[in-house]
Structures are given as structure tokens and as C-alpha cells.
Chains A and B, each alone.
Chain A
Amino acid sequence: MPGYTLPERATGFFIDHPVHKQYVLTFPSDNVTWVFDVLTRLWHRRESFDIGRWRGAESALFNNEVLIGDYRLGKIWLLTEKEFTEDGDTLKCQLVPPVIRNKEFDMTVDSITLFMEVGVGLISNIDAFGIAKALPIDPKIKVEYSRDGGAIWHTKEDLSIGRIGDRDIRVRARNFGRVRKQDALLLRFTVTDPVAVVMYELHAEVDVTP
């Protein structure tokens, strides 16, 4: 964890989640929170909406529930898979997979398919502005790409991940164009709708040009 301002002020705590035991480490001077998942042995960044760091500052497993202490409000929250907001704030889920690159040859990226749970949309047809829609809300995943190492991100498109019960949806973006051998293609997937986000695998279809 190099490069942070005043790392000696970092604070840590453990979340005794029934499945995903997690060590949470926050660098308050840089407003950054990292989480290590003991099950997957992977790190991820965790942010509260428009704050930077995560609001969680302490945790306890009590009465078979995972409780989280909020450093800003002094409140205690329930951490549960059944809620998709953080005290009503948007819970943004973002995946940045490894780069797509071929050091030997140029290539053309025809399509990217993200295998994830689909048809998880809201049952309610009331949108964020309180307006009733004819159909249940259709949650989206934003697909972005970068060709300069993440300095500039371009929006490719917002793909549907399916209204509730729509299990036939394929999350696929096409025509990313040519990637020269000295370059790399970075992808970023973001969901901000209040739905469960479960991603399994990413598949890229490419044509290599010798």
C-alpha cells in the first residue's frame, strides 16, 4: 500500500461476514478504502457515494447480523444482500478487468460478453423521480473503454441487464475496433441501479492480424 499521504493514520477493522470475511483498511488522509476478501483473496476499492472512502469504520457480528458503524453519522447500519443502497445513497458497483492486449500482433476486438446474473431488475415500476412507468424498470450496465491506460474513458453504451425475470438477456458490447500491438484496451463496467450485481466471467472475441 505505498504512496499514500500519512499512511500511519490508516485505520483497519474486520467484517465477520458469514461468507466473505473482510479486512477493511482506510487511508483517511487520501480518502481511500481498500478491502481484502479472505474467501477470494482479492482486494477491491470501496467507496461511499460522493465521499471517496467508505463510510464503514467498525463492525460487529451481533444477533446473526453484520453491523457496520458509520464514521460520519455515528449510526449503525445493517450490512445485507437484500438492500441495494447505502442509507438511500446510490451503491455503485464497478468492475475493471485486466487489460486486453497482444504484444505480438495488432488485433480487432469484435465483441465483449460479460457473463453475469440478469433479469434482476426492480419489481417496482416507479423510477427515481417517482414517476410510474409502463414496465418494471430496466437496469443498465455502463460499458466504457480506454486506449490510453485509463487517462480518458469513453462511454461505449449502456446495456440492459434485464427487467425482472428476463433471463434471456446477453450483456454484450460490439465493435471496439483495432488495438495496435503497442497499445492495450481497458474496459470498465458500472452499475448504479439498485439491483443485485453478480458477475462471473468476461469473454472477448478478437481477430488477430499477423
Chain B
Amino acid sequence: MFEIQGELFVVSRNLLYVIDTAGTVTELGDVGGSTARVYMAANGADDNQILVISEGEGYIYDPSLGTPFQQVIDADFSAGIGVASLNQIFWVPRPDSNTLQGSGTADGLSWDALRRVSAEQDPDLLVQPIRLTSALWLMGKKTCEYWQVDQSDTTNPIRPVAGATIMRGVGANESIATYQNNAFWLADDFTV
């Protein structure tokens, strides 16, 4: 479930719905998958594109397009689990790697192979990115890296902050939850 601007987006099994404040439910369509958790984020563009990540596929809901939603078919797009949005860019991990890839600015249908960064403080795999305040945490299997906005780099406008890595990783990929400026997860030593 994902709430934004008075609308609640819900995926139940393979279908995406939107619910308004009056309780009216509208089916938007099929996002594939069946039982795996889906992830959603909005990119903050004028019409707030919403990216739904479902079992390795991406779907963009954008009211301005006039269609319920579109599947991301860019050849440079490949998604693991999770999605975070920062400065109108969607960031998703590439599967089984330490690489994070970014969408076009305010354009979740466009993905460039050059807009990629690697979490390299430790040779662990990237699990998923989360956004806290105006920064990203790249949550890995063994470490969690803190990345800030870097406006001087227009291709990859985020950079790691030296010395801000947590030497504790994620023990359960789907355990990560955020609230305001806080994150909770089952760590790789199975503490919370």
C-alpha cells in the first residue's frame, strides 16, 4: 500500500488499484506476479509518476499519460527488489549485484546505462535502497552505505559519504520498513 496526495495505491495479488478518500476503488490493471511483495515510490514530478516494482518488472502509473499505466520496457532497466526516489529520480537495485541504477529525471520509463553507481565500501550484494530525509541508504547484505545528493554530477547525482557506513547488513530482504527518518530491519546477525 502506498499513499500519496489523497490516493491510496494498493496491489492485491497481481492487480493494482487506487482508492480515493471517498472509498471508491478503481482497478488500474495487471502488474504481474502473484505472491511476492511489490514496492512503490513516487518521483515527485508534477504529476507524481509512481513506479511499481513487481517480481523484477517495473510499471509506471502517470495520470498525464492518459493510460492506466505502462510497463517499463527500456533495455537498460533491470530490477531487483525495492525502489527509492530522490530528486525526481527512481533508484532501483540491479538483481544480484552491488549496483544501483537510476531512471531519467522525472521520467520512470527512461533508463540510461550510464546512470548507475556501485556500493563498494564492502564487497557485499545490494539488497535495496531506502530514502531517509534527503539521502539514500544502500542496504546491503553486510553493510549499509549512506549516499547524499551531489548536484555537481548530472549523470549520477548521488555520492557515498566517507565514514558513514554501518558495518551491519540485512538478514531478511523483505524486513526493511521505514518511518519518517527511521528505518527498521532484521540485520544479518538477526537482531533488529
Residues of A within 8 A of B (CB): 1-2, 4, 7-14, 16, 21, 23-25, 36, 38, 58-63, 67, 69, 74, 76
Q: Do B10 and A23 touch across chains, with their CB atoms under 8 A apart?
A: no
* A-B CB contacts (within 8 Å), total count: 75
**Chain A, residue nearest B38 (CB):** A58
Q: Digit string of B148-192 for contact with A (CB within 8 Å is 1, else 0)?
A: 000000000000000000000001111111110000111000111
Chain A nearest CB, measured from B183 CB (Å): 9
Q: Do B179 and A16 touch across chains, with their CB atoms under 8 A apart?
A: yes
Q: Do B172 and A10 touch across chains, with their CB atoms under 8 A apart?
A: yes
A-B contact pairs, 23 of them (CB 8 A): A1-B186, A7-B171, A8-B171, A9-B172, A10-B186, A11-B37, A12-B172, A12-B184, A14-B177, A16-B179, A23-B179, A24-B177, A25-B175, A25-B184, A25-B192, A36-B192, A58-B1, A62-B19, A63-B6, A63-B8, A67-B8, A69-B1, A74-B13
Q: Do B178 and A10 touch across chains, with their CB atoms under 8 A apart?
A: no
Q: Chain B: how many interface residues by the 8 Å CB criterion?
A: 26
B178: chain A residues within 8 A (beta carbon): 14
Q: Do B190 and A12 touch across chains, with their CB atoms under 8 A apart?
A: no
**Chain B, residue nearest A6 (CB):** B172
- Name the contact of B190 in the complex, choosing from A1, A16, A62, A69 (C-beta under 8 A): A1
The complex places the Cα of A17 from the Cα of B172 at a distance, in Å, of 24
B172: chain A residues within 8 A (beta carbon): 7-12
Main secondary structure of the interface of A (DSSP, over half): strand
Which of the listed residues B174, B176, B177 has the most CB atoms from chain A within 10 Å of its own CB? B177
The complex places the Cα of A38 from the Cα of B182 at a distance, in Å, of 11
**Chain B, residue nearest A12 (CB):** B175
The complex places the Cα of A63 from the Cα of B4 at a distance, in Å, of 11
Q: Do A69 and B173 touch across chains, with their CB atoms under 8 A apart?
A: no
B76: chain A residues within 8 A (beta carbon): none
B12 CB-CB contact with A under 8 Å: yes
**Chain A, residue nearest B1 (CB):** A60
- Name the contact of A14 in the complex, choosing from B2, B10, B184 (C-beta under 8 A): B184
Chain B nearest CB, measured from A19 CB (Å): 14
B184: chain A residues within 8 A (beta carbon): 12, 14, 23, 25, 36
Q: Do B21 and A12 touch across chains, with their CB atoms under 8 A apart?
A: no
B3 CB-CB contact with A under 8 Å: yes
B2: chain A residues within 8 A (beta carbon): 60
Q: Do B3 and A60 touch across chains, with their CB atoms under 8 A apart?
A: yes
Q: Which chain B residues (95-129) contact chain A, with CB distance < 8 Å?
A: none
Q: Do A12 and B177 touch across chains, with their CB atoms under 8 A apart?
A: yes
Q: Do B8 and A12 touch across chains, with their CB atoms under 8 A apart?
A: no
**Chain A, residue nearest B35 (CB):** A71
